[in-house]
Amino acid sequence: MAHRLPLLQKMAHGVGTWERINRAIRERLRVRLKRDPQPSAGVVDSQSVKSTAVGGEERGYDGGKKVKGRKRHVLVDTEGFRAL
Query: Do 32 and 45 share a domain, yes or no?
Result: no
Average pLDDT, integer, range 37-47: 86
Position 33 confidence tier, pLDDT thresholds 50, 70, 90:
very high
Query: Do 82 and 53 share a domain, yes or no?
Result: yes
Count up the domains in the chain and report the number. 2
CA dihedral 35, 36, 40, 46 (to 10 degrees): 50
Domain boundaries, position 67: 41-84
Query: Do 68 and 50 share a domain, yes or no?
Result: yes
Query: Do 71 and 34 share a domain, yes or no?
Result: no
Dist CA 40 CA 42 (whole Å): 7
pLDDT at 69 over 70: yes
Query: Do 45 and 34 share a domain, yes or no?
Result: no
Of 21 and 15, which is predicted with more confidence? 21
What is the structure's pLDDT at 82?
Answer: 83
Angle at 21 between CA 71 and CA 6, to 5 degrees: 100
DSSP secondary structure code for residue 70 in this structure: E
Dist CA 79 CA 36 (whole Å): 11
Among 7-11, 33-37, 60-64, the least confident range? 7-11
Tell me the pTM.
0.56
Distance separating the N- and C-terminal Cα atoms of the chain: 33
